[in-house]
Structure 1
Amino acid sequence: MPPSQRLLNTQYRIRRAHPMTPVAERMLRRTASATPGELAEFQERHLKSLIRVAAARSRFYRHWFADTGVDPCTVRGLDDLARLPFLDRSHLVADADRFRTRPASTMWSAHSSGTSGRVVTVYRTQWSAVVEHAMLERQRRWFAVPNRARSVVVRGHAFGTDSVTRLVPGANQLLVSSFHLDDRHAEQICDAIEHFSPDVVEGWPSSLALLAQLMRDRGRTVQVRMVVTSSEVTTAAQRALISESFAAPIADQYGQTERAAMAGVCEAGGYHVFSDYAIVELHAIPGLPDRFEIVGTPLHNRGFPIFRYRTGDEVGPAPSSGCPCGRAFPLLGMIDGRREDAFTASDGRTLPVPSIVLDNLRDLREVQIVQRGPGRFEIRLVPDTLYDADVVRTQARRNIDRYFGAGQQVRFVVMNRIPRTSAGKLRSAIVEPEPATVARVSGG
């Protein structure tokens, strides 16, 4: 069994069979039926506990409380949260270890450039992972999905062999490569999915839409209980195509590598903030009267406490009417800011969410991958103090080969700052055709 599959099996079993899983499930059953006042009390109780831990054990917060003269014991309620500073990706890029309250070896780490192109490393405890898993399982139960449901997962997998699917028995999952959704592999993928007989299909909307198109072209459908989308904004056209091919409601899930906030769609169609996972603030964006930035304070990750984290994700106004489901979780408006250009491989395959090839590159302040033409890419790098050019280029080349396939051309450009969009944003993956007069340079 490959190391990546063993890791997935292990992590899934820890979350499902961890001795604290029943505790997490009982907690979430109570909060699911709580009143708004009871949810606020739940948040305040966890916030006060996290503040004490952070002030005592986190280098960042220990110094912050000492420098500002704020007594952590005076942060007692939700209104007091505004006394703490905002955090953003730059704080985690600079030195994520300052936020830890436990040894890194006792937690899981994750790395991501997200859609912002700024590389972060974060940590989470087993308990926080157990709570997250229980929360996702709770959302599935809203759609009458059974325990230990069989899931097809179409989210960035590449297996480095001729195989384009992989069964993970410990997780009850069939993984499908997002980078081989083409006519050449369509029958193999469709046959594997039908034979697996899933209860749930989950993945990136762009990948699910590609899969749905292949199925529709062949007159094939697979009926499941729900389709779970995440990581990208789902367009109306994608929703229609996915719904047609899988004959099921689509339930989006919202989150980030930093685990600052969670939200998801219920069986009645409401997009709810999971306020038993994090305290979510919506801050108005200057110049945009109907747009708000999501700011999150996660409540269960005591090993890596972050408060008032600016996600960079934007939402519109929340619906004015309540959700028919009757739950007290607040409604969220339409989420924006999660879009990437699709790339094209040298053999014509579509490459969804191409920034995945940047996620494990280390010691960079900023990074961006640019599509110059089919199979021609430029990786722009802004080094950090520990940057090792050979290590970064070797890893990037390995990622390109794994996810995009062999035969792609790659060149590397070291910069002081990666250009922003007209709106001032740094995007991690863009299509920028190379002028005909510019020589094509291959390297790596």
Structure 2
Amino acid sequence: MLKKMMNTSVHDIYFSSPVFMQHAFTSVYGYKLRRERYNVLYRRAFRRYMEGGTNPKEMLSDFMHHLKQNIPFYRDIRIDEGNLFESFLALPVTVKEDLRNGLEERSHTVGIMRKSRTSGTTGKNLAVYDSEYDRADRMAYLDYIKMQSGVKPFSKRASFTGQELTPPDHRNILWRYNKPMNQILYATFHMTPENVGHVYENLVRFRPVTLDGFPTSIHMLAKYMLSNGLKPDFEVRAVFPTAETLLPHVKRDIEKAFDTVVIDQYSSSEGAPFIYGTEDGKYIVGKETGLIEFERVGHHLYDMIVTSYINRATPIVRYRIGDQVEIRSDRKYLNSFDDDIKIERIIGRAADYLTGSRSNRVTAVNISWVVDGLEEKVIQMQFVQTGRYHYVVNMVVEDAFEKHDEDIIRDRMYRRLGEESVIHFDYMEAIPKEKNGKVRFIINQTGKEVSVGDTDESV
């Protein structure tokens, strides 16, 4: 956060300042963000979402006319109001290279522009524009999602972020206060099972109404609480994880520790429509934010083609984003315009999978089953595929974890990946984090690209 806003000299001043001054710097930046984000445009958008009643056909019609009138690439499209969805399906499917190579002709750069970037393991960046209107819409819809669980804007909030907040010599003071936003930020990059107790003690003093951010870090805190029989004496109304795939056992542990609901959410730096969880554990598409098409690629497994209404500067139109979801259907094609879509799980990146000996793809949700029944003994784990049949399982475990438990996990992996698998267990103090502070549950080192387009909206 601070590194993005400051030049090198100010950055150095921040990290050489005492902690109380770093809190002050964080709050000054928070005041700047509050003024920028929560303006009249935000209030107008938030009121529109709360009032509801927007007609899907009207939204699609308005979006397509915006393309025709303002985006050079789409200037010649035909719009048949009587067959509107058919007109939409006539638009070409977009892939990442299209956006990368044709950004200007696919953009409408009017207003206060900003470039957002997303990247992959291949090192290829993708940049898209967004305007002050797009940013207001996005923040308003995030707050609209939270309102569904009774969390009002500017409620006390604890955010677990990958942004740079603390120096390497942090002395286990892993938090900084953002008073204008009624928020405390925790530096997940420095969180470990050894110092997470300090985070818990600070959280109890702060007494947040809601938590958000990286689920792996919130899960680390939840595991500490469950292992030590700790129950907060304040109400957490909901937890909103983001930026990483939410695994079933992680969701269960967080809900048990905080006695609350976990509402997962999905979007992307490119500006994909929102998908968010409901209290019954399903996911729905935020139709006010866009339209999603689903193409079946396996049993109940669907690729997503996304169209976003909330990024008018660089509209994302029929974009094959590379992420997958699970839907209980055998139809080859579904879409959120015509169909009542109930998503079972957000699988995440199509490349976030292990390849088994039968050339089968084993996703994060599939492989997370191997820890079933052992959750109390396993703090964290990560699967790394290093070769065709070779896998490393990085694990952080409790003292109660035994060799027999390792054998159970190994046997379950054989069933998922094949008997030819060579599996090595590496026990460590903490799972290595990426530069952005995220922990990848699956790392496939056999040449597959992995998108990391989803964003950390902590601040």
What TM-score, normalized by structure 1, do the two folds share?
A: 0.68
Q: Which moved more, 1:181-190 or 1:79-88?
A: 181-190
Q: Note the C-alpha offset of 1:305.
A: 1.6
Q: Aligned ranges for residues 274-353 of structure 1 at < 5 Å? A: 274-285=286-297, 288-318=298-328, 330-338=341-349, 339=352, 341=382, 348-352=429-433
User: Which residue of 83, 88, 106 maps to 1:81?
Assistant: 88
Kept after mapping to 2: 8 A contact 1:153/1:175: yes
**Against the structure 1 CA distance between its residues 213 and 26, is the aligned structure 2 distance closer, same or farther, given a 3 Å change threshold?**
same
**Against the structure 1 CA distance between its residues 199 and 336, is the aligned structure 2 distance closer, same or farther, given a 3 Å change threshold?**
same
Q: Aligned ranges for residues 371-390 of structure 1 at < 5 Å? A: none
CA distance in 2, matches of 1:115, 1:329: 35
Letter in 2 for 1:47: F
Letter in 2 for 1:49: H
CA distance in 2, matches of 1:420, 1:91: 26
Q: Note the C-alpha offset of 1:73.
A: 7.7
User: Which residue of 35, 50, 53 maps to 1:13?
Assistant: 35
Aligned partner of 2:275 in structure 1 is 263
Q: Note the C-alpha offset of 1:23.
A: 2.1
CA distance in 2, matches of 1:308, 1:355: 30
Deviations 1:37-96 (A, max 9, x none): x632232232233222344xx4x445xx4xxxx446889722211111111222233353
**Against the structure 1 CA distance between its residues 329 and 226, is the aligned structure 2 distance closer, same or farther, given a 3 Å change threshold?**
farther
Report whether the alignment pairs 1:120 with 2:126: yes
Report whether the alignment pairs 1:147 with 2:158: no
Letter in 1 for 2:35: R
Kept after mapping to 2: 8 A contact 1:252/1:265: yes
User: Which residue of 23, 28, 40 maps to 2:56?
Assistant: 40
Aligned partner of 1:159 in structure 2 is 165
Secondary structure class of the residue paired with 1:190: helix
Letter in 2 for 1:85: P
Q: Which moved more, 1:128-137 or 1:39-48?
A: 39-48
Report whether the alignment pairs 1:177 with 2:187: yes
CA distance in 1, matches of 2:177, 2:340: 35
Report whether the alignment pairs 1:224 with 2:236: yes
Aligned partner of 2:449 in structure 1 is 426
Aligned partner of 1:399 in structure 2 is none
Deviations 1:128-154 (A, max 9, x none): 221121212122111112331111111
Aligned partner of 1:412 in structure 2 is none
**Against the structure 1 CA distance between its residues 143 and 210, is the aligned structure 2 distance closer, same or farther, given a 3 Å change threshold?**
same
CA distance in 2, matches of 1:235, 1:357: 18
CA distance in 2, matches of 1:23, 1:144: 20
**Against the structure 1 CA distance between its residues 308 and 116, is the aligned structure 2 distance closer, same or farther, given a 3 Å change threshold?**
farther
**Against the structure 1 CA distance between its residues 12 and 349, is the aligned structure 2 distance closer, same or farther, given a 3 Å change threshold?**
farther
CA distance in 1, matches of 2:329, 2:263: 17
CA distance in 2, matches of 1:109, 1:10: 19
CA distance in 1, matches of 2:137, 2:201: 34
**Against the structure 1 CA distance between its residues 140 and 419, is the aligned structure 2 distance closer, same or farther, given a 3 Å change threshold?**
closer
Deviations 1:392-414 (A, max 9, x none): xxxxxxxxxxxxxxxxxxxxxxx
Kept after mapping to 2: 8 A contact 1:8/1:171: yes
Secondary structure class of the residue paired with 1:77: helix
Aligned partner of 1:238 in structure 2 is 250
Letter in 1 for 2:324: E
Kept after mapping to 2: 8 A contact 1:113/1:355: no
Letter in 1 for 2:98: H
Aligned partner of 1:26 in structure 2 is 47
Secondary structure class of the residue paired with 1:314: strand
Aligned partner of 2:407 in structure 1 is none
CA distance in 1, matches of 2:435, 2:123: 8
Q: What is the aligned residue count?
A: 344
Q: Aligned ranges for residues 81-120 of structure 1 at < 5 Å? A: 81-102=88-109, 106-113=112-119, 118-120=124-126
Q: Note the C-alpha offset of 1:291.
A: 2.0
Q: Percent identity?
A: 20
CA distance in 2, matches of 1:317, 1:88: 23
CA distance in 1, matches of 2:437, 2:211: 23
Kept after mapping to 2: 8 A contact 1:88/1:310: yes
CA distance in 1, matches of 2:95, 2:31: 32
What TM-score, normalized by structure 2, do the two folds share?
A: 0.66
Aligned partner of 2:212 in structure 1 is 202
CA distance in 1, matches of 2:429, 2:102: 40
**Against the structure 1 CA distance between its residues 267 and 43, is the aligned structure 2 distance closer, same or farther, given a 3 Å change threshold?**
same
Q: Note the C-alpha offset of 1:102.
A: 0.8
**Against the structure 1 CA distance between its residues 9 and 84, is the aligned structure 2 distance closer, same or farther, given a 3 Å change threshold?**
farther
CA distance in 2, matches of 1:95, 1:214: 48
Q: Which structure 1 segments of 5+ residues have no match?
A: 321-327, 359-367, 372-417, 430-444
Q: Note the C-alpha offset of 1:197.
A: 0.7
User: Which residue of 256, 262, 287 maps to 1:250?
Assistant: 262
Deviations 1:195-237 (A, max 9, x none): 1110111122222211212333343333400011122222222
Report whether the alignment pairs 1:132 with 2:138: yes
**Against the structure 1 CA distance between its residues 116 and 355, is the aligned structure 2 distance closer, same or farther, given a 3 Å change threshold?**
farther
**Against the structure 1 CA distance between its residues 232 and 207, is the aligned structure 2 distance closer, same or farther, given a 3 Å change threshold?**
same
Aligned partner of 2:456 in structure 1 is none
Q: Which structure 2 segments of 5+ residues have no match?
A: 7-25, 331-338, 353-363, 365-381, 385-393, 397-427, 453-459
CA distance in 2, matches of 1:19, 1:40: 25
Report whether the alignment pairs 1:215 with 2:231: no
Letter in 1 for 2:244: E
Kept after mapping to 2: 8 A contact 1:51/1:75: no
